[in-house]
Amino acid sequence: MNNVLFIYENEIPTVSITRNFWGNISKEYGILSKFIMLSDVQSSDIDWCDVLVMIRPNNVYAWRIAALSRKSGCFIITTCDDDLLHLPKTHPDLYWRRKGLIKALNNSNVFMTTSRHLMEQMLGYTIDKRGVYVDTVVKYGELLERDYETEKRDMVRFVYAAGGGQHEVLFEQIVLPALRKAAACYPGKFSLTFISVHPNCEGLEKSIPITYIEGMPLLEYRKFMDEQKFDVGIAPLEDSPFAKCKYFNKYLEYTLSGVVGVYSNVEPYTYVVTDGDNGYLADNNDISWEEKLKIAIEDSSLRIACARNAQKHVRDNFNEQVLMERLLSEVPELYKKTGERNPCRNFSHWRIYYRFLKCVEYIFKSFFYMKNEGMNSVVKRAVARLKRS
C-alpha cells in the first residue's frame, strides 16, 4: 500500500473535490490518502508518505517542502487548475509566489492539470517532463434525478453562482444588458438567484424577482442547488489566455443538479458543451446572450432535453472508475513503491518565513485592491475571508 499526502494552502473547491474523490476510492487500489493544510505539515508527514501531491503550490514554503521531500526520496506531483504564472492585471501578482511555483515544479516528477494550455506552459519545468490530464470525478448517485414534467411552472428560475470581484464585472458587462432586454420581453416570466456574487442590477428587480444568497461550502452548495431545482444556470467567462487555463467546473456543478447552462462560447466550455445539445453557448456580446437566454425561457422541451443530455455526458465520461484507472495507468507510482526513503529534514524554521510573507502579502493586497477597486472591496474581501475561516 502506498501513502499519498496532499498538501494545500487554502480550503478551496479544488481541494474539496480532490478530497471527496480520493477519500472514497483510493483504498480500493491499495492507496491511503491524507490531506493536510500547508501551515500544518510536519517532516513526520513527509516521512509517512510515498507520494507527495502539492495542490497549487505557488509559495516559498511549498517549494522548500518539495525540495526536502525530493531529497528524502519522495515521488512528487504538482497539480494546478489556474495559470498562476501569468495572472491578469486584476489580480495582485507577487514575485515570490511565481518563484515558489516554478521552484516547486523544478522539484516535481509529474505535473497534473485539467488544461492543455497549462500543460504546454508548465510541463517543461518538471524533472521528468511528465504530464497527466485529470478530470473531476462524478460519483454514482451525485447526479440528481429530476422529474422535469412534475416541476413545470410558470416562471423559469435562473441561477448565477460564482466568486466575487471580476466575476461580477464580467456579468455586468456581458450578461446584464441581455438580461434587461429579456426581462423587458418576458416581465415576470423568470427569476434570478445570485450565489456568492452581488452585481449591480439596479432597476432589474422591477421586472423580475432577484435573490442574493451568501457563499457556502461545496457540499452545502450542492445540497442547496439540489433542493432549489433551478432551470437555467449562467456561466460567463472572458476569452483570455488566463481564462483558457481554467476548468469547466461550472458545467459539472450545474449538470449535477440537473440545471442546463448558458455558457460563454470560449474554452474551456467548448471542450464539453455542444450548443443546443447539452447546453447553450453564447458569444461574449449582449446580442448573443439575449438570444440564448430567450431560447432557454421559451423552449422548455429543448431546455429539458439539454439538461438530460448533459447528465448523460457526465455520467458516461466522468465516472470515478474510468478516471481512476486512467490516472493509475499513467502514474503507476501512485500505488507502486519507487525506492528507498531517507528521513526528511526538519523545515519548521521555513514556516516562520512563510507566515512573515503572508503578513506582507495581506498588506500588499489591501493596498492593491484599495487602489484598483476601492475601500469597499477591501472590506468585502476581508469579511469573505473571515467567513471562510
Which domains can be identified in the chain, with CATH numbers?
A: 2-137+320-388 (3.40.50.2000), 148-317 (3.40.50.2000)
Which tens digits make up the pLDDT trace of 94-143?
A: 888 999 999 999 999 999 998 888 998 899 999 999 999 888 878 778 89
Cα 148 from Cα 143, distance rounded (Å)? 14
On whether the CB atoms of residues 190 and 158 are closer than 8 A, the answer is yes
Give, in order, the Cα–Cα distances in Å from 315 to each of 106, 133, 137, 219, 310. Answer: 36, 19, 10, 19, 9
Mean pLDDT to the nearest integer, 318-328: 83
Consecutive H or E run containing 324: helix 320-330
pLDDT band for 335, please (50, 70, 90 cuts): confident
356, exposed or middle or buried, with CB in 10 Å at 0-12, 13-18, 19+?
A: exposed
Cα 312 from Cα 334, distance rounded (Å)? 30
Which tens digits make up the pLDDT trace of 170-227?
A: 899 999 999 999 999 998 899 999 999 989 898 898 889 999 999 888 889 999 999 9
The larger pLDDT score, comparing residue 72 to residue 136, is at 72
Give, in order, the Cα–Cα distances in Å from 7 to each of 209, 221, 353. Answer: 43, 24, 18
Mean pLDDT to the nearest integer, 147-153: 83
Res 346: pLDDT? 93
On whether the CB atoms of residues 329 and 143 are closer than 8 A, the answer is no
Res 164: pLDDT? 60
Which tens digits make up the pLDDT trace of 249-289?
A: 899 999 999 999 999 999 999 999 999 999 999 999 999 99
Reading the block at residue 77, the C-alpha cell is 506531483
Torsion, CA 188, CA 192, CA 198, CA 200, rounded to 10:
-40
Q: Is the per-residue pLDDT at 233 higher than 90?
A: yes
Q: Is the per-residue pLDDT at 379 higher than 80?
A: no
Q: The whole model's pTM is what?
A: 0.75
Reading the block at residue 168, the C-alpha cell is 461580477
Cα 84 from Cα 290, distance rounded (Å)? 33
On whether the CB atoms of residues 262 and 296 are closer than 8 A, the answer is yes
Reading the block at residue 367, the C-alpha cell is 493596498
Percent of the chain whose predicted confidence (pLDDT) is above 70: 95
Q: Which residue has the cell 442590477?
A: 201
Q: Is the per-residue pLDDT at 387 higher than 80?
A: no
Cα 235 from Cα 257, distance rounded (Å)? 15
Cis peptide bond prior to 57, omega within 30° of 0:
no
